[in-house]
Chains A and B, each alone.
Chain A
Amino acid sequence: MRRLELAIAGLLACSAVASIAFVVIYDSGADTQGLGIALGAALAFLAAALLIASRKLFLSTPVAEERPEFAQPPEDPGFTVGPAAEEAEELAGEIESPAEAITRRRLLVAAAGAAGTALGAALVVPAASLGPSLDDRLHRSPWRTGVRLVDEDDQPIAPAMIGERGFVTAFPEGVDKRELAAPLIVMHLNPSSLDLPAGREGWAPQGLVAYSKICTHAGCAVSIPRSPLYPDQAPRPALVCPCHYSTFDPAKGADVIFGPAGRALPQLPLSIGSDGTLVAAGELSGDVGPAWRGTRGVT
Chain B
Amino acid sequence: MSPERAVERRGGLTQRAVRWVDDRTGSASGIRKVLRYVFPDHWTFLFGEIALYSFVVLVATGIFLTFFFEPSTAKTTYHGAYAPLEGATVSKAFASAMNLSFDVRGGLLMRQTHHWAALVFVAAITVHLMRIFFTGAFRKPRDINYYVGLTMLMLVIVEGYAGYSLLDDLLSGMGLAIGNAVALSFPIFGADLSNLIWDGQFPGSDAFASRLFIAHVLIFPVLIATLLTIHLILVALPHHTQFAGPGKTERNAVGTPLWPVYAFRSIGLLLAVSAVLFTLGGLVQINPIWQWGPYDPFRSTNAAQPDWYLGWLIGALRLMPPLEIRAFGSTLVPNPFFGGALFPMLLFAFLYAWPALERRITGDRGLHNLLERPRDNPLRTAVGSAVLTFCLIVFFAGSSDRIFLQFGIPYEGQVVVLRVVVLVAPVLVFFAVKRTCEELRRGESHPLRDFPGRVVRRTPGGGYEPEP
Contact = CB atoms under 8 A, between A and B. Distances in A.
A183 B339 CA distance: 27
A16 B31 CA distance: 31
Given A220-B174, A262-B323, A36 B282 contact: yes
B299 A33 contact: no
Contacts of A227: 412
B283 interface: yes
**Most B C-beta atoms less than 10 A away, residue of A34, A219, A229:** A219
Interface in B284-341: 296-304, 314, 317-324, 326, 330-332, 334-336, 339-340
Interface string A45-67: 01111110111001010111111
A290 B184 contact: yes
Interface string B164-187: 000000000010011011101101
A292 B185 contact: yes
A260 B320 contact: yes
Given A26-B105, A35-B282, A137-B201, A262 B335 contact: yes
B347 interface: no
Interface in B192-250: 192, 194-203, 211, 237-239, 247, 250
Nearest to A76: B366
A42 to B, nearest CB: 8
B331 A298 contact: yes
Contacts, number: 300
A44 B271 contact: yes
A228 B202 contact: no
**Most B C-beta atoms less than 10 A away, residue of A36, A55, A132, A222:** A36
**Most A C-beta atoms less than 10 A away, residue of B199, B321, B334:** B334
A205 interface: no
A291 interface: yes
Contacts of B367: 70, 72, 76, 79
Interface stretch (B9-17, B21-29, B154-162, B254-262): B254-262
B365 interface: yes
A291 B199 contact: no
B64 interface: no
Given A30-B105, A40-B282, A213 B336 contact: no
B137 interface: no
A201 interface: no
A178 to B, nearest CB: 6
Interface stretch (B273-281, B385-393, B421-429): B273-281
Contacts of B369: 67
A290 B141 CA distance: 45
Contact of A40 (B108, B201, B275, B301): B275
A246 to B, nearest CB: 8
Interface string A200-240: 00000000000001100111111110011100010000000
A12 B139 CA distance: 43
Interface string B44-83: 0000000000000000000000000000000000000000
B350 interface: no
A261 B317 CA distance: 10
**Most A C-beta atoms less than 10 A away, residue of B257, B322, B340, B365:** B322
A153 interface: no
A148 to B, nearest CB: 17
Nearest to B332: A293
A191 interface: no
B335 A35 contact: no
Interface of A: 26, 30, 32-37, 39-44, 46-51, 53-55, 58, 60, 62-68, 70, 72-73, 75-79, 127-128, 130-132, 134, 137-138, 169, 171, 177-180, 182-183, 213-214, 217-224, 227-229, 233, 241-246, 256, 258-263, 289-295, 298
Interface of B: 36-38, 41, 105-106, 108-109, 112-113, 141, 174, 177-178, 180-182, 184-185, 187-188, 190-192, 194-203, 211, 237-239, 247, 250-257, 260-265, 267-272, 274-276, 278-283, 296-304, 314, 317-324, 326, 330-332, 334-336, 339-340, 365-367, 369, 401, 404, 410-412, 415
Given A54-B268, A258-B412, 14 more contacts: A36-B278, A40-B275, A43-B274, A44-B272, A54-B261, A55-B261, A67-B238, A68-B238, A138-B191, A178-B298, A220-B300, A222-B300, A229-B412, A291-B335
14 contacts: A35-B106, A44-B272, A47-B270, A51-B264, A54-B263, A65-B37, A67-B253, A72-B366, A131-B192, A132-B200, A137-B195, A178-B297, A221-B298, A223-B302
